[in-house]
Amino acid sequence: MEKLSDFIAFKSISADPKFESECTDCAIWLSDYLQGFGVKTELIPTPTGKPVVYGRIGSGDTKTLIYGHYDVQPPEPIELWKTDPFVLTEREGRVYGRGAQDNKGQLWYVIQAVKARADSLKEEVIFLIEGEEESGSVGLSQILSSIKGKIKADTLLVCDTGTIDERVGALTMGLRGICHLEVQIIGPSKDLHSGVHGGVAPNPSLALVKMLGTLHDENGRIGIPGFYDSVKEPLKEELALAEKFPITEAMYHGLTGVMPFGGEKGKSIALRRGFLPTIEINGLRSGHIDEGSKTIIPSTANAKLSIRLAYDQDPKETLELVTNFLKLQTPLGLTFKIIDSCAAGRALRVPISSPAVARAKNALIKSTGVEPLYIWEGASIPVLVSLTEVSGAVPVLVGFGLEEDSIHAPNESFKITQWDKGYKFALEFFG
């Protein structure tokens, strides 16, 4: 716990250039820690400046590649944290801090298990820990082909996922892909008086809201022509396993405070959550948003969007499709501009019958005493598809995070009993 506290203390926020030195310092610290129990490490530079921590330990005919990330989400809004986000704090059976679960806490139990097995490993274990997962894995993606020989493996172990029931382990069998963008609608050269100019000058805020409203039809289905052309339907056995995932409308309401009525009407929670694509508005910014009234027509309006991709959708093609669609919706007199965009990664599908999945399943049964759940997760780990292709490894995704851990939100935490279950699973996996 003392060393995990040191790990959490680094403000390794990859999305904010102000913290680039913190990311580098964190990578150096992590490399030194791994060296302390016999891992041969090196820091691999990336074009974006966040180094990748690479290491090897053990020997044998088989190889397991461990992927994780040392970067974290920004902590804002700071005022909603009960304690300092970069000071690991324990209370009521949980540890709190940014990265306590995602991914420093979960990565930590894997590292501790490999440390415990260091003298008895039956295979070679390779570490690949990056510093930009939370901002698109841009640097690692650009160097993957150049380190191909270093990361060849049979199994790719990723402990950056979760379960819906803390009594049961879970195998994540799929992840949606992702791309994201920020659009801006530009209107008058300055904010205008809404009385003098209302009804004459086009309003960027009003235009943007209307444009965003065209992204979905009345049934919640994405309304962009051609958007679903390359979407692959889930296999029957995949959907059957996914539908066993024990989440009801009432349970979802208890976890989130809202009923699961988003997305396409008439589709199950499992299908909407793990297999279908989405377009979500992540944030809106325009005009006067502070206290009190300010009667203006704002000069600009911005929206941040994320697009979750179904299996076989191409991120670049989908991003271009969405961008062109929105551009065509721009009213006369206003200008459409892309502030930022990223086609981060494809969706991942794990083969149900692979030996790597069987190995993880057995380790989960031994460590928890029960059959695991199978999850098709709606979230994304952008680099995993490329990583599996370059390494040749079959991915295995096992995690012990819970919804109440509040990852990406204020007061992120990790339940200590869940950390313990993760450690016991990893011990069995490498036993």
First and final C-alpha spacing in the chain: 23
Nearest CA to 101 out of 17, 163, 154, 35 is that of 163
Average pLDDT of span 21-28 = 98
Whole-prediction pTM: 0.85
Cβ-contact 133, 13 below 8 angstroms: no
CATH number at residue 384: 3.40.630.10
Report yes or no on 86 lying in a domain: yes
Side-chain half-sphere exposure of 331, counting CA atoms within 13 A:
17
How much of the chain, in percent, has pLDDT values that exceed 90? 92
Alpha carbon 240 to chain centroid, angstroms: 25
Look at residue 226 and tell me whether its pLDDT is greater than 90: yes
Average pLDDT of span 153-163 = 96
Same domain (yes/no): 194, 164: no
- How far is the C-alpha of 354 from the C-alpha of 360, rounded, in Å? 10
Same domain (yes/no): 306, 368: no
Q: Which amino acid is at 294?
A: K
Report yes or no on 413 lying in a domain: yes
6 sits in which H/E element:
helix 2-9
Same domain (yes/no): 195, 334: yes
Range of the domain at 78: 2-175+347-429
| Residue that has been written with the tokens 């289905």 in this structure | 221
Full DSSP string of 144-208: GGGGGGGS--SEEEE---B-S-TTS-EEEEEE-EEEEEEEEEE-SSS-EEHHHHTTTS--HHHHH
55 sits in which H/E element:
strand 52-57
Same domain (yes/no): 299, 405: no
- How far is the C-alpha of 94 from the C-alpha of 48, rounded, in Å? 34
Last residue of a domain, one of 309, 344, 379: 344
- What tokens were used for 224? 């962009």
The predicted-structure confidence for 111-138, as pLDDT tens digits, reads as follows: 999 999 999 999 999 999 999 999 889 9
420 sits in which H/E element:
helix 416-429
Report yes or no on 285 lying in a domain: yes
Average pLDDT of span 347-359 = 94
The predicted-structure confidence for 186-218, as pLDDT tens digits, reads as follows: 999 999 999 999 999 999 999 999 999 999 999
Q: What are the helix and strand counts (H, E) for the chain?
A: 13, 18
Return left, alpha or beta for 394; rule: phi > 0 is left, psi -120 to 50 is alpha, else beta: beta
Please count the structural domains in the chain: 2
